[in-house]
Amino acid sequence: MSEQNIFLLDGEEIAFAPGQTIMQAAQSAHKYIPHLCWHPEFKPHGSCKLCTVKINGRFGSSCTVEAAAGQNVENRTAELDDKRRTLLQLLFVEGNHFCPSCEKSGDCLLQATAYEMGMMTPHFDHFYPDRPVDASHPDVMLDFNRCILCSLCVQASELADKKNVFVMGGRGMRGRKIILNSESGKLGDTDFSVDDRAASICPVGVILKKRVGFVVPYGERTYDKAPVSAVEAAK
């Protein structure tokens, strides 16, 4: 790594390897940039926009923009966290999120990020979309009320499992959704298995394994013990 391969993240010098995105470089340096649709195992998707930073004064998605020497990257500023709070509120009102009864509560990246950003209320009127629950598979159930359209299950199923059980289709807020790879549209009619990578990738409470629900009780889960910024920085 040459000496010049350094950029500034909130004033701190961060070294990067050529070809790394700002997000990857920050992660390697144990710095937290908020994110929902990014996962180190997969290609950046660039859809949630929680990772929006300012690069030399211009907005950009840190998960897709490559790091470059001398960039001045603003991350946890009041302006950006304010935008992130609004984005989170948009995600909450477009789905049906009822955290107190959700099996994922405490392990959910959406909920944890909302705490991190100090989101106190959903602010906007709820859309209350009509979204399905699919219990047709013997080992896994799906509750699309909580889907944030991050496409991680799509990538996991396509690239890791080589199955394409989940595909993103449709258009706009009312149309875009996960489509399951069977004529009936049911998970039980696909070749999905509980051992698939896609079965454990969902950052929120959509893809849930049956019969293991509350093995770890509320209060002792990942983000109950430490905020997401600390959990991520420790990785």
Q: What does the binding site for ligand FES look like in residue numbers (CB under 6 A)?
A: 35-38, 46-51, 61, 63
179 lies in the site for another protein, by CB under 8 A: yes
In the region spanning residues 204 to 223, those forming contacts with ligand SF4, defined by CB under 6 A, are 204, 206-207
Share of the chain residues as helix, strand and coil, in percent rounded to the nearest 5: 30, 15, 55
Give the span between the Cα atoms of 102 and 108, in whole angstroms.
9
- Does position 108 interact with ligand SF4 (CB under 6 A)? The reply is no
Which listed option, another protein, ligand SF4, ligand FES, none, makes contact with residue 51 (CB within 5 to 8 Å by class)? ligand FES
Sites for another protein among residues 193-232 (CB under 8 A)? none
Site membership for another protein, residue 181 (CB under 8 A) = yes
Candidates 93, 135, 194, 231; binder of another protein (CB under 8 A) is 93
* Residues written for the chain: 235
Does residue 140 bind ligand SF4 (CB under 6 A)? no
**CA-wise closest residue to 87 among 52, 139, 126:** 52
The residues that touch ligand SF4, with contacts defined as CB under 6 A, are 147-153, 178, 201-202, 204, 206-207
The residues that touch another protein, with contacts defined as CB under 8 A, are 44, 46-50, 52, 59, 61, 64, 83, 86-87, 90-91, 93-94, 124-125, 127, 149, 164-173, 175-176, 179-183
